[in-house]
A and B are shown apart, each in its own frame.
Chain A
Amino acid sequence: MNQRAAVIGIGQTYHKSKRDDVSIAGMLREAAQRALDDAGLTYEDIDAVVIGKAPDMFEGIMMPEHYLAAALGAVGKPMLRVHTAGSVGGSTAIVASHLVANGIHKRVLTVAFEKQSDSDAMWALSVPQPFSAPLLAGAGGYFAPIIRAYMKRSGAPNDVGMKVAVKDRLHALNNPYAHLQIPDISLKMVEESVMLWDPLHYLESCPSSDGAAAMVIGNEAAADQAEADTGRKPAWIHGMAMRSEPTMFAGRNQVNPQAGRDCAADVYAQAGITNPRAEFDCAEVYVPFSWYEPMWLENLGFCDEGDGWKLTESGATTFGTGDIPWNCSGGVLSSNPIGASGMLRFLEAALQVRGLAGAHQVEDARKALGQAYGGGSQFFAMWVVGSDKP
């Protein structure tokens, strides 16, 4: 970063399985307008727009940034469209933030979305290419064997995933934007839900959602001005990083991927973090299947390898009682508009350090981690945000 950059406006939609009351543009404009309102700005104040989403086939629009340009106030401005698989929401925020941190623009609007109900997303993902292996496992079937490998390596008991599933759904009850609102969620309910991909129960998997997320990124002058105008604090970006590794290769550690460890090391170095568990007040981490919480606890260095499940089991990651609450918003397990899911992690981390998370606000949160991953755990994007200027 050549100069300071901060999140000065945040907006998201109420995530649902079907937003059948809006067009795609209308859905994005809800999130974008909320972010502009939060920053005390209008579209005219924005210098550039960066959008992100997962495969175009989900909505059946090729390179939809063109159709969406006027909806997002991008006419006459630079506009970019990022696609890095599931990590895209995070990488999109990073691309937008680079434009500000590297001195190109003063204020950039970034929006990520998915309107999965326009198609059947799981179907769109599983279009068999000719000559490819026959369809065997479906979406979760890719990750379930990796989870089993984690269980074997770490010796974790079978119920850790179910505990994460309950915890994140309880968290979601404090977040009015979260898709899944299951007031009576319990271990018993998770255990009795269908075993989709053994060892994964139905309630240990993420939902399919329609939704959008938006942020306004501003430079120091823009951030100071927004704070003076609105009385709301910005979230200062202390570090951001992306890492990729090949999808499959001999000896690849899919349980604890090197790209994730390297990405964390990079972003921690930028932000001066040496002990993530102690120095972060909370984290928003991409956990689409319950067991990815203990796996990412290890990958992100919140504990030693093999100890992630112990941290989860101890309640350390629970909002209100744990010392390092994860996914206070309810996380991907509660809302999953795929292309926006990564940006929601980044956005929720920023909300926390701005003190604006409402009922799921972690008391006096000053530093938070946002993480997104995609593909077969080979694409990573992370940022560290704080209440104070870096």
Chain B
Amino acid sequence: MSKFPELTSGSRPIAVVSFAQAKAVRADIAHNEVEMLLPVFGELFAKAGITKDDLNFICSGSTDYLIGGPFSFVMALDAIGVWPPKPESHVEMDAAWALYEAWVTMQEPGKDVSLVYGFGKSSLASDLGKVLALQMDPYTMAPLWPDPTSVAALQARALLDAGLATEEDFAEVAARNRRNALKNPYAQVARDDDLATLMAEAYVASPLRRHCLPPITDGCSALILVAGERAYDFSDNPAWITGIDHRMETHALGARDLTQSPSTERAAVEAGVAKGGLDLAEIYAPYAHQELILAKALGLGADTQINPSGGALAANAIMSAGLTRIGEAATRIMSGEAKRAVAHASAGPVLQQNLVAVLEGAR
């Protein structure tokens, strides 16, 4: 058996060798961002037997608007100890895109070991929905303050109107994710709900009921990428990224078909999702109905388990939740639980931008 699976994207095999995350909580009052990251890095490095001095590149994802102050990523570096100085970069995006930047950088021989992390404390904003409304067009949409739940509800309605799903389907997605989360010690919302109870809930934004919404989460996650042969120094069974791609759609809500995710479809093709069977999928779908759109766009069949971690409905640490999907998939590859998996991240209003990564074990 070859040491490296065949690559769809890139020319250099790059693998996740370690992943760690903070327990997702509604509000982590005792810790600032640095204090939240510190133990996660400690665990991450210990798992792989790596030190900060092994790192060739560091890349993170976060946003100033969660903390309400500029340059929020700057102090996070204190949790690593970037001394002597290191090549380092930051995207104001979910850290899944920081992973993408690291993956691109590591295509060059010699750039062998990268740290990728994302963090966010959504609890600091009194009205998180209002803060996130600032993602909308600043002239014609943001002045109306459309929060993400309201905009997601417009998408869910379009799905119902098109006859592509029912409200019971939404509830089933939510129930399954939170049931899966019972086995995830890092999850925030984990329970076994029956459908009738869920369907009896009032609408928050019709047709979305409370169970269709993600929790508000403080959290962070981090992983280590290693290129080529060296990956085996840190893991017996690295999770190789054989395909990765991401695509953007237009911001004009009225010019999109909200019932589809063409950007996910395209990224899935580019990442080679259909080239083999998939044991599991980790999908970033903060609203229950979005999982239905995304599962279809990814071309998932009934034999693929979706969100064994519980997904974003169980823990939604904005800015790291997408990276966490990749980490959760990688963890199950490394443990041998899965042989081939797809991970997905999303950003922007109602799935405007999507990233798809295929992870495979060589064992």
Is there a direct interface between A and B, measured as CB atoms under 8 Å apart in the complex? yes
Residues of A within 8 A of B (CB): 1-2, 23-24, 49, 54-57, 59-70, 74-85, 91, 95, 98-99, 101-104, 124-125, 127, 129, 241-247, 249, 257-259, 262-263, 266, 375, 378-379
Can you list 12 pairs linking A and B with CB atoms under 8 Å apart? A2-B107, A24-B138, A56-B65, A65-B93, A65-B353, A69-B251, A70-B252, A79-B246, A81-B93, A245-B82, A245-B85, A266-B87
Chain A binder among B98-106, B201-209, B299-307: B98-106
Decide if A66 touches B107 in the complex (CB within 8 Å): no
Find the A residue at minimum CB distance from B86.
A244
The interface bits of chain B over 129-167 (1 if a CB of A lies within 8 angstroms of the residue's CB, else 0) are 001101111110010000000000000000000000000
Decide if B71 touches A243 in the complex (CB within 8 Å): no
Decide if A245 touches B83 in the complex (CB within 8 Å): yes
The interface bits of chain B over 192-225 (1 if a CB of A lies within 8 angstroms of the residue's CB, else 0) are 0000000000000000000000000000000000
In the bound complex, CA of A124 to CA of B10 (Å): 40
Find the A residue at minimum CB distance from B134.
A62
In the bound complex, CA of A20 to CA of B157 (Å): 39
Closest 5 pairs between A and B when the two form their complex, measured CB to CB:
A259-B85, A55-B70, A102-B107, A244-B88, A66-B348
Partner of A246, one of B69, B70, B78, B107: B78
In the bound complex, CA of A2 to CA of B63 (Å): 32
B64 within 8 A of A: yes
User: What's the nearest-Cβ distance from chain B to residue A388, in Å?
Assistant: 21
Residues of B within 8 A of A82 (CB): 89-92, 101
In the bound complex, CA of A77 to CA of B213 (Å): 29
Q: A61-B138, A67-B137, A78-B245 are in contact. Are A102 and B108 (CB under 8 A)?
A: yes
Decide if A78 touches B248 in the complex (CB within 8 Å): yes
In the bound complex, CA of A102 to CA of B10 (Å): 8
In the bound complex, CA of A103 to CA of B9 (Å): 10
Residues of B within 8 A of A (CB): 10-11, 58, 63-65, 68-71, 73-75, 77-78, 81-93, 97, 100-101, 104-105, 107-109, 131-132, 134-139, 142, 245-252, 262-263, 266, 347-349, 352-353
In the bound complex, CA of A90 to CA of B81 (Å): 23
Decide if B134 touches A61 in the complex (CB within 8 Å): yes
Decide if A258 touches B90 in the complex (CB within 8 Å): no
In the bound complex, CA of A65 to CA of B64 (Å): 15
Residues of B within 8 A of A81 (CB): 91-93, 97
Decide if B90 touches A84 in the complex (CB within 8 Å): yes
Residues of A within 8 A of B81 (CB): 246
Find the A residue at minimum CB distance from B262.
A76
Residues of B within 8 A of A78 (CB): 245-248
Decide if A80 touches B89 in the complex (CB within 8 Å): no
User: What's the nearest-Cβ distance from chain A to residue B113, in Å?
Assistant: 16
Q: A62-B135, A69-B249, A127-B69 are in contact. Are A56 and B83 (CB under 8 A)?
A: no
Residues of B within 8 A of A77 (CB): 247-248
Decide if B249 touches A262 in the complex (CB within 8 Å): no
User: What's the nearest-Cβ distance from chain B to residue A253, in Å?
Assistant: 11
Partner of B105, one of A23, A102, A259: A102
User: What's the nearest-Cβ distance from chain B to residue A44, in Å?
Assistant: 15
In the bound complex, CA of A127 to CA of B352 (Å): 31
Decide if A66 touches B349 in the complex (CB within 8 Å): yes
Residues of B within 8 A of A103 (CB): 10-11, 107
In the bound complex, CA of A321 to CA of B189 (Å): 69
User: What's the nearest-Cβ distance from chain B to residue A284, in Å?
Assistant: 21
Partner of A63, one of B77, B263, B348: B348
In the bound complex, CA of A247 to CA of B10 (Å): 34
User: What's the nearest-Cβ distance from chain A to residue B19, in Å?
Assistant: 22
Q: A77-B248, A82-B91, A244-B77 are in contact. Are A66 and B353 (CB under 8 A)?
A: yes
In the bound complex, CA of A365 to CA of B104 (Å): 31
Q: A24-B138, A66-B347, A81-B92 are in contact. Are A124 and B85 (CB under 8 A)?
A: no
User: What's the nearest-Cβ distance from chain B to residue A108, in Å?
Assistant: 11
Partner of A57, one of B64, B248, B262: B64
User: What's the nearest-Cβ distance from chain B to residue A212, in Å?
Assistant: 16
Residues of A within 8 A of B86 (CB): 243-244
Residues of A within 8 A of B68 (CB): 127, 129
Residues of A within 8 A of B248 (CB): 49, 65-66, 69, 74-79
Residues of B within 8 A of A65 (CB): 93, 248, 348, 353
Q: A61-B142, A78-B247, A246-B81 are in contact. Are A98 and B352 (CB under 8 A)?
A: no
A69-B251, A102-B104 given; 16 more Cβ-contact pairs under 8 Å: A56-B64, A60-B134, A62-B134, A63-B93, A63-B347, A66-B248, A75-B248, A75-B250, A76-B249, A79-B353, A80-B91, A80-B100, A104-B104, A241-B87, A242-B87, A246-B81
Decide if B90 touches A243 in the complex (CB within 8 Å): no
In the bound complex, CA of A262 to CA of B82 (Å): 13
Decide if B91 touches A375 in the complex (CB within 8 Å): no
